[in-house]
């Protein structure tokens, strides 16, 4: 991971790129905007996620803001690409302050409908969880998932997160998943 010195003299850690057995993950950039917008417009993809997905101006402004925002050292969005087709945008995974404000740090993922059921979400999130606990050294991460979103709940459980309570998820019943650094270390023995 490299760093740069900001105009204020603060050292900022740039987001690293990652490689897994089947995926490439790199920091999300403005070149990913069009693919991100198209993914969000698929009603199946955003079925459980409140947002301006069908309002073109607001939707684009929202995604642009998320791409350009600074979330803190080691935090942000990564675009996902399959090694089998490295030019095709698969989706993204994030590690940012909850709802972009915190104080908790959330992990989240969104994939193109055509990429569902291939293990890409689990593969990408496992790598970001490792980054969260071994590089950023977070005390814990959360994921707030609509109770009816069984596929995302399975991903959270596969990566070792446990239900820690209920939450309101855009006016719908949601579950709050949690993983602490000690949970992670107990499973991985790092």
Q: Encode pLDDT of 63-79 as tens digits.
A: 999 999 999 999 999 99
Residue 189 confidence (pLDDT): 62
Low-confidence residues of the chain: pLDDT under 50: 1-10
Buried b / exposed e along 150-189 (16+ C-beta atoms within 10 A): eebbebbeebbbeeeeebebeeeebbbbbbbbebbeeeee
Residue 168 confidence (pLDDT): 87
Residue 2 confidence (pLDDT): 39
Quick one: which of 146, 152, 169 has its CA closest to 117?
Answer: 152
Quick one: which of 121, 116, 126, 124 has its CA closest to 159?
Answer: 126
Say what the alpha-carbon torsion angle 14, 20, 24, 26 is, to the nearest 10 degrees. Answer: -10
Global pTM reads 0.90
């Amino acid at each position: 991971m490299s760093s740069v010195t900001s105009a204020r003299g603060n050292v900022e850690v740039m987001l690293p790129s990652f490689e897994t057995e089947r995926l490439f993950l790199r920091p999300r950039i403005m070149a990913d905007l069009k693919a991100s917008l198209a993914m969000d417009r698929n009603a199946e993809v955003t079925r459980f996620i409140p947002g301006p997905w069908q309002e073109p101006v607001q939707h684009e402004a929202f995604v642009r803001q998320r791409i350009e925002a600074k979330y803190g050292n080691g935090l942000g969005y990564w675009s996902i690409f399959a090694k089998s087709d490295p030019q095709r945008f698969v989706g993204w995974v994030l590690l940012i302050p909850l709802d972009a404000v915190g104080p908790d740090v959330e992990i989240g993922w969104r994939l193109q409908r055509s990429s569902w059921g291939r293990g890409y979400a689990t593969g990408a999130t496992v790598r970001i969880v490792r980054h969260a606990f071994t590089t950023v050294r977070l005390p814990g991460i959360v994921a707030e998932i609509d109770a009816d979103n069984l596929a995302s709940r399975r991903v959270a459980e596969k990566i070792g997160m446990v239900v820690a309570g209920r939450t309101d998820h855009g006016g719908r019943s949601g579950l709050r998943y949690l993983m602490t650094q000690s949970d992670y270390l107990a499973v991985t023995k790092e």
